[in-house]
Amino acid sequence: MVFVNYGGGQYWFFQHAPWNGLTVADFVMPWFVFIIGTSVVLAFSSLRRKGTTRLQMLRKLTWRSTVLIVIGFCFINYSPRDGLLSWSWARIPGVLQRLGFTYLVLGLMETFSAETDIPLQEHRWWRPLQEVVLFWPQWVFIILLETLWICLTFLMPVPGCPIGYLGAGGIGDGGLYPNCTGGAAGYIDRWLMGDNIYRYPTCKELYRTTQPFDPEGVLGTINSVVMGFAGMQAGKIFLFYRKRDSSILPRFLVWATLLLFALFTGEREGPSAPRLGTHHCSDGGTSGGRREVFTAIQEQETSHSETPR
């Protein structure tokens, strides 16, 4: 992430796509969010085993999230050259703020979830989906959250813009919608935070946009939570099937296939827009794929270590 933020060695694939398309740089942040979700499951499971109460977990979660959000706000708004912080040019959203809020939501989900162990030996009709069925409240919440994102993105009327607009505005789309940068996502951020969002988005130079647009905005944060939840699912698989390594790899393959299928299905409907934070399916698929390789290597090393000499 640091390498990408400081130019990425001037390689084009380490530069963020101006709007449509995906580069390696566009995967870095979502991969990080995915790992956060996995870490939340493993960390909170460890806290439960140590006898940590729910109130203690809430205190730890709230403190860490608050510190991360405050550091992010101070970091992006501090500039000795421009003088003391002024609300007229301050930026409210940011990467650390988004990570902090995502961690808070994922942590709350895990804190208030039932302490459930997957019954590996029980044979029930829903056994192939047991890690989903046993945590159905979390899935209901995530489905409702993503439904909210879909409704706001594609059904919310935005003044002067077509319904469901996902373009960059400016001179894009033949200059028909110059003030529609980001569609509903940009409109909601400007309505909630005014001009206190990112004034120099990646699309500004190429599309000559005039509206501020923040890639770490409200709707994009919803998808960060969904991306982190995919990481939580990976953590659950690692945790509950740790004594049955042969079950881990097939499940990661299935989840990666489903996420990639969702990605390619969405691509047929229209271009991807990473600046809107809509690429969580591709990131989940690739993250899951990397874990499949890692798990396979682990199993291979284990088999070698168990071979008598």
Q: Is 123 a catalytic residue?
A: no
Whether 14 and 28 have beta carbons less than 8 Å apart is answered as no
SS3 216: coil
The dihedral region occupied by 156, where left means phi > 0, alpha psi between -120 and 50, and beta the remainder, is beta
Q: How far apart are the C-alpha atoms of 242 and 261, rounded to whole Å?
A: 27
Whether 303 and 246 have beta carbons less than 8 Å apart is answered as no
Q: Which residues of 173-187 are buried (b: 16+ CB within 10 A; e: fewer)?
A: eeeebbebbbbbbbb
Q: How far apart are the C-alpha atoms of 262 and 273, rounded to whole Å?
A: 15
User: DSSP state, 61?
Assistant: H
Q: How far apart are the C-alpha atoms of 256 and 287, rounded to whole Å?
A: 8
Q: How far apart are the C-alpha atoms of 33 and 23, rounded to whole Å?
A: 17
Q: How far apart are the C-alpha atoms of 59 and 52, rounded to whole Å?
A: 11
Helix (H) or strand (E) holding 239: helix 218-240
Q: How far apart are the C-alpha atoms of 133 and 124, rounded to whole Å?
A: 11
User: DSSP state, 81?
Assistant: G
| DSSP states of 120-156 | TT---TTGGGHHHHTTHHHHHHHHHHHHHHHHHHHHS
Q: Which residue among the candidates 16, 279, 280, 304 is catalytic per the annotation?
A: 16
Residues recognised as catalytic: 16
